[in-house]
Amino acid sequence: MLEVQSLSKRYGQTTAVDGVSLTVPKGSVTVVLGPSGSGKSTLLRLIAGIEQPDEGEIRWDGEPVSGPTHERDFGLMFQTHALFPHMDVATNVGFGLAELAPDLRRARVAEVLAMVRLASFGHRMPDQLSGGEAQRVALARTLAPDPRLLMLDEPLGSLDQQLRKELALELGELFAELEVPVLYVTHDQGEALALADQVAIMAAGKVLQRGAPEHIWERPASAFVAGFIGYENQAESNAAGGKVSTPFGPVSVDVADGPVVAVFPPDSLVVNRTGPLSGMATMVSFNGRGYDLRVASDGTEFELTSPERYSVGDQVRFAAVDNRVLAYER
């Protein structure tokens, strides 16, 4: 098990990683989810030993880990897979296995290529691979030395949306087969949901919340975390006597009296011709199945979806279908 405790790394005035604590249990997939610049790559580089922390400790099964990168037995795969263009797939995958006898090396390469479902690709050159295949070759190369921890830094970042979805599902299956614990970094909440046993939400160098994805999506720790994971509809409000006032009446919440941010779960507000609320469409975009609307109502902008087309400036009526509202002290 990997344990990271109070890890910090500063670059001049920037604290890239700020007191991060994290565990990656055996046989689990931990996803660090955070916006660009939140310190995710720095965290992985610290764990890999490419960078040295200013504070804090990294332990494996209770033992401090502080040696050089090659002694750590941690595999790290980057977004840019950077296969050697002049070497075939098998040679790329076997690159880190120089100490093995040639027949053992060949066997190991065949084994990991089969794991990533590219058993017959050994003789292909990198320019004969699709983006997704190249990514799987890079993964095979990372797995070849049999690391005790697998770290992936936005491995699907350079691929298009459709391929990302497909590959995230494939990766999920692969991770389930692997014994090795996985620490996976992404800014994409869909990937995090698809893959994680445990999610750590990171922003500005700090871990803001950790837990099972179901738990985090059920009860985000702050309005910021909620917004980041897709609870886009938020409004300033007030709580009094255990209720918060919302555009559709008072709703019970578990927060102290005073100014709050009311957060509406995704899909809890729907366009409805006879709905009690109304506003003006300020943005309309087609999403393939219907329309994404931004609707300004009483000083708050709501994100809604509609099966019917509206134009900017139209009045839009809407309703709450679910009176679950989360409230956070302001």
Give CA separation, 232 vs 42, 63, 239, in Å. Answer: 28, 42, 20
Min separation Cβ 40 and ligand ADP, Å = 3
Min separation Cβ 35 and ligand ADP, Å = 7
238 in Cβ contact with 303 (< 8 Å): no
Pairwise CA distance, residues 40 & 9, whole Å: 12
State the residues that interact with ligand ADP by CB under 6 A: 11, 14, 16, 34, 36-42
Cβ proximity to ligand ADP: between 37 and 227 the closer is 37
Q: What is the dihedral of CA 218, 256, 251, 318, to 10 degrees?
A: -70
Cβ proximity to Mg ion: between 41 and 237 the closer is 41
Q: Which does 34 bind (CB under 5 to 8 A by kind): Mg ion, ligand ADP, none?
A: ligand ADP
Cβ proximity to ligand ADP: between 195 and 262 the closer is 195
68 in Cβ contact with 221 (< 8 Å): no
Q: Which does 14 bind (CB under 5 to 8 A by kind): Mg ion, ligand ADP, none?
A: ligand ADP
Q: Which does 144 bind (CB under 5 to 8 A by kind): Mg ion, ligand ADP, none?
A: none
* Other Cβ atoms closer than 10 A to 53: 21
Return all residues near 59 (Cβ < 8 A) that are at least 6 apart: 2, 3, 4, 5, 65
DSSP strand pairing (291-297 vs 300-306): antiparallel
Cβ proximity to Mg ion: between 79 and 234 the closer is 79
Cβ proximity to Mg ion: between 75 and 126 the closer is 75
Q: Which does 84 bind (CB under 5 to 8 A by kind): ligand ADP, Mg ion, none?
A: none
- Residue closest to 266 by CA, chosen among 212, 309, 226: 226
Min separation Cβ 154 and ligand ADP, Å = 8
Residue number with the smallest Cβ distance to Mg ion: 41
Min separation Cβ 130 and ligand ADP, Å = 26
Q: Which does 38 bind (CB under 5 to 8 A by kind): Mg ion, ligand ADP, none?
A: ligand ADP
Q: What is the DSSP string of 35-89?
A: -TTSSHHHHHHHHHTSS--SEEEEEETTEE--S-HHHHTEEEE-SS----TTS-H
Q: How many CA atoms lie within 13 A of 223 on its CB side?
A: 16
Cβ proximity to Mg ion: between 18 and 88 the closer is 18
Min separation Cβ 38 and Mg ion, Å = 8
Min separation Cβ 150 and Mg ion, Å = 17
Q: Assess 41 for contact with Mg ion (CB under 5 A).
A: yes
Residues that bind Mg ion (CB under 5 A): 41
